[in-house]
Amino acid sequence: MLELKNIKKSYKTGEFVQHALKEVSIEFRKNEFVCILGASGSGKTTLLNIIGGLDRYDSGDLIINNMSTKKFKNIDWDRYRNNCVGFIFQNYNLIPHISVIDNVEMGMTLSGVSAGIRKKNAMDALKKVGLLEHAHKKPSQLSGGQMQRVAIARALVNDPDIILADEPTGALDTKTSVQIMDLIKEIAKDKLVIMVTHNPELAREYASRIIELADGKRVSDSNPVKRSEKDDSLIKIRKTAMSFLTALKLSFNNIKTKKGRTFLTAFASSIGIIGIGLVLSLSNGFKIEVDNFEKNSLSEAPIIVSTQSMDMSEENMEKMMGNKSDKEKYPSKKEVYVQEDIMASMVHTNIITEEYLEYLKNMDKSHLSGISYQSPTALNVVKKDSEGFNLVEGTSNWVVLPTNPNENEKGIIENNYDVLAGEIDDTKPGLILQIDSSNNVYKSSMEALGLDGESVSFEDIMNAELKVVINDEYYLEYGKGFIPNMNLESLYNSENSITLKVQAIIRGKKDKEIITNGSGIGYTNALTELIIEKNKDSKIVNAQKNAEYNILSSKPFDNDLMSGNNKETMLAYLGAYADPFLIMMYPKNFDSKNEIVSYLDKYNEGKTEEESIQYTDMASMISSLTGNIMNAITLVLIAFSSISLIVSSIMISIITYISVLERTKEIGILRALGARGKDIKRVFNAETFIIGLCSGLLGIVIAYVLTIPVNIVIEKYSGLANVAKLNIIHALILVIINVILTIIGGAIPARMASKKDPVIALRTE
């Protein structure tokens, strides 16, 4: 039962007030065909819009199955239009860019009906109006009568209680009008049909009841409802909701009709993405190059723990450069200010204990590509050359080869050097000869091996033999002290001497020439361990332990750790123990370096200044400098490129606003079918989402393609190949950011669309 009680409706334009309806009261039966007649301006269309929930009455009440609508909110009217009312318009009001079946399904879609049921009901409705074979055509492919039949099918498919027809035959020829009226009369057998028409003959022929309006008032009613015919049943209104997928489908179909404009819009809005994509590609590529350079640099700048360390913290560096001071710069006062010696304050004396060495052994070795322990133990080496037998001088300049702590991974030597001859085995005592990129080697190194000549073959180098003499044979007791044994031939041929040969000849790799291009002799840590094992209980070591003076020079110790003239230093020199005076840790990369530094710092927690072990980290300055420069350049370039993103967002806003204007009629149709304001907003948000996604993907593709010529130019002028590399994560983030910005840009026009009056929107052409 539908009832209007004293309905008033006025329209105000400036100072002029138009009274469209003046206290109109009408009751309708559940099943009847009602025609509302009246001249133009009589209020019949306004009455139809109020009954359909498209327009709001000023006063009175609209009763739907004994339910007052006075307290209806917008969402209640949306549900009412979707569930209880079916509209048949004079101009059909079909959405042009979707198919016939999609137009028919739209009301059910808004009701949340499943896809399978929607399709079945829509096909049944089209069959009922005789258009089953036209289901997948576009409305523009149909005749006027066929489009009106589609509108009728759409009105019927959701099984509403009320069918509202506004001049349904006004745009049709006579023959088609009769067909449409016959169809509407058939519908009226089990539904309430209210039709507005200005044709009295049509009304008298088909309607079961005629109501006439004049000047906004009811002037006649051919068959008013009697008290005994009233129905006490209550209405039930289901919720409506448009899914985002439906909104996407509507928007996508609309966008397909404007391919050229959509492409140009997507391309224009992708310019910012292209710029940022190229910047990030270059930044990513250069970062990889810098990381590689830093990794290589770390092999020459390890973390060093020595008996004396230099604190190279940023604060100390600023002090040393004179950049940090509370004093006035360039004062005119005739006085000086006394301060601590900065260089002296930067030096720290470390006491490397057994506890600390054990702590280092427990470090996570996965962060290291190499570690070496330089011991002060003397290498007493005898060589045999063309001049006879001689002591090898300069062994203190030989370095301990870094040991690779990870068996299944390449170490620092493998990463940075090519082995030209032999094989490196750091578990066995041996020498390693490093030559430069031109196979040059210092003369002193060849002389140390007992070789001479302008060139020496690898074979001769590998066959050279040296002898490391143990303490008990090298040092002879002499009075209260000891002196070296100068019978070098006897020492060389002694069975107790350690035979030493060159294990391998190495040369820095071509791509590591900057940091590995040098020459010299190194030896394995296994040699140090063997010498100490043989010398730790020697006569001279035991004598030095019991003496409070230098057993070799017979001079007293001054016990100054800084000078090195103390008992502990002398015992270490003689091989009494393996405690190193220098530990060099080679991180795999800067992240590993940070982990190692963090681990070393933990050791100092809770310890005094004297107890703490400080380290020298020269690489930290390289890390912070290169990182800060790269980040600064990247941020500046991204900032400039981002301007185009902002411009793109503004452009998207304008394009969306134009789309709102173009689709105003569609907005009215959707609202008439029960779409909520938020559903309309969702349609336009979906459109901006599609454009944002397309422009983002287009920008990424173009940016990727542009990296090819960019890499060619960079390689030509810098020699660096394939620098520009677009990270897939960066690409995804850029697409997401672009989508978000385009949705934000289209938010205001989308909101404007959701606020449009459905009655005014339906009148838009």
- Tokens at 536, concatenated: 């730790």
Q: Which residues pair with 371 in a beta bridge?
A: 403, 585
- Give the angle 177-182-183 at the CA atoms, nearest 5°: 100
Distance CA 690, CA 258 (A): 13
Distance CA 225, CA 208 (A): 12
For residue 480, which amino acid is it?
K
DSSP calls for 291-353? HHHHHHHHHHS-EEEESEEE---HHHHHHHTT---SSPSS---S-------HHHHHEEE----
Q: What is the pLDDT of residue 22?
A: 92
Distance CA 17, CA 337 (A): 90
Q: Which residues pair with 67 in a beta bridge?
A: 64
Distance CA 266, CA 702 (A): 12
Q: What is the pLDDT of residue 210?
A: 94
**Phi, psi dihedrals of residue 572, rounded to the nearest 5°:** -65, -40
CA distance between the termini of the chain = 35
Q: What is the pLDDT of residue 514?
A: 56
Cβ contact 656:684 at 8 Å: yes
Q: What is the pLDDT of residue 60?
A: 93
- Give the angle 560-564-565 at the CA atoms, nearest 5°: 70
The three-state secondary structure class of 412 is helix
Q: What is the pLDDT of residue 403?
A: 87
Residue pointed to by tokens 């993103």: 645
Low-confidence ranges of the chain (pLDDT < 50): none
Q: What is the pLDDT of residue 296?
A: 59
Which residues, 6+ apart, have CB-to-CB distance to 425 below 8 Å? Answer: 503, 524
Q: What is the pLDDT of residue 654?
A: 84
Whole-Å CA distances, 541 to 374, 530, 571: 20, 16, 7
The three-state secondary structure class of 711 is helix
- Tokens at 674, concatenated: 């029960």
Domains and CATH numbers, the chain: 2-240 (3.40.50.300), 255-293+626-763 (no CATH)
Cβ contact 472:489 at 8 Å: no
Distance CA 372, CA 385 (A): 31
Q: Is 109 left (phi over 0), alpha (psi -120 to 50) or beta?
A: alpha
Q: What is the pLDDT of residue 531?
A: 92
Question: Which H or E run includes 548?
Answer: none
- For strands 498-508 and 431-435, give the pairing: parallel
Whole-Å CA distances, 386 to 389, 441, 468: 8, 20, 19
Closest CA to 693 of 244, 266, 408: 266
Q: What is the pLDDT of residue 562?
A: 60
Q: What is the pLDDT of residue 137?
A: 92
Distance CA 380, CA 398 (A): 12
Q: What is the pLDDT of residue 363?
A: 92
Residues in the chain: 765
Distance CA 10, CA 57 (A): 8
- Tokens at 354, concatenated: 């057994």
Query: How would you class 567 by CB atoms within 10 Å of its CB: exposed for 0-12, middle for 13-18, buried for 19 or more?
Result: middle
Q: What is the pLDDT of residue 559?
A: 67
- Give the angle 131-136-138 at the CA atoms, nearest 5°: 95
Cβ contact 198:167 at 8 Å: yes
Query: How would you class 338 by CB atoms within 10 Å of its CB: exposed for 0-12, middle for 13-18, buried for 19 or more?
Result: exposed
Q: What is the pLDDT of residue 669?
A: 86
Distance CA 546, CA 90 (A): 120
- Tokens at 739, concatenated: 């989508």
Q: Is the dihedral of CA 309, 315, 319, 325 positive or negative?
A: negative
The three-state secondary structure class of 242 is coil
Cβ contact 224:213 at 8 Å: no
Distance CA 586, CA 411 (A): 9
Closest CA to 364 of 585, 210, 39, 662: 585
Q: What is the pLDDT of residue 107?
A: 84
Distance CA 756, CA 409 (A): 68
